[in-house]
Chains A and B, each alone.
Chain A
Amino acid sequence: GIQVEQSPPDLILQEGANSTLRCNFSDSVNNLQWFHQNPWGQLINLFYIPSGTKQNGRLSATTVATERYSLLYISSSQTTDSGVYFCAAQGSNDYKLSFGAGTTVTVRA
């Protein structure tokens, strides 16, 4: 199946800072999603983005499918942005969504 790698594994930010999270995947994709896992464990859908660029408030994402990577941008970070961010991809010839190891973001006031 498709391999998904996320970097960095951990990120510590001062409130107000901007950051970029990266997701590399090993094959062409039908689906590429970014999630934020809250402290209770629920996965919050951030973006469904198999290609192109999307923005939602202070968050935006870009997927360059031909180069097999996706980026999640957090601007003007807030303490509520803390948590684990997962990238997950479904290969074109696959039925399942494979998750990266996640990036743990800590935003300090």
Chain B
Amino acid sequence: GAVVSQHPSWVICKSGTSVKIECRSLDFQATTMFWYRQFPKQSLMLMATSNEGSKATYEQGVEKDKFLINHASLTLSTLTVTSAHPEDSSFYICSASRQGGAEAFFGQGTRLTVV
């Protein structure tokens, strides 16, 4: 398989601060990575598509100024939750596929708690 690593696994931050989450493809290059959000007892919802070297594409209803995505290399995408509020508390998870492949591989996820 392919390995996607996400860091940190969990984070607690104060309301109003920003938090950065990293997603790395460890043994393959990924021109595209995806960021999902999952609330308790619910399914995964796609937030945005991260494209290496270009702007991210956000799903309808996702605030691009609040969830900043940077895909600076073929193995790293970052999601920054800016000015976090308690309602941003959630489980965030990224995925990537090998170039030319369709199968998606997921990171371990990051549990964000905003207090």
Contact = CB atoms under 8 A, between A and B. Distances in A.
Interface in B54-76: none
A40 B44 contact: no
Interface in A58-109: 86, 88, 90, 95-102
Chain A interface helix/strand/loop/mixed? strand
Given A41-B111, A43-B93, A96-B49, A86 B43 contact: yes
Interface size class of B (residues with CB under 8 A): 20 to 34
B105 A96 contact: no
Contacts of A31: 102-104
A51 interface: no
A50 B108 CA distance: 24
Interface in B87-115: 91, 93, 95, 102-106, 108-109, 111
B108 A97 contact: no
20 contacts: A31-B104, A35-B106, A40-B109, A41-B38, A41-B109, A41-B111, A42-B106, A42-B108, A43-B93, A45-B1, A50-B102, A86-B44, A90-B102, A97-B34, A97-B104, A98-B46, A99-B44, A99-B45, A100-B43, A101-B42
Interface of A: 30-31, 33, 35, 40-43, 45, 48, 50, 86, 88, 90, 95-102
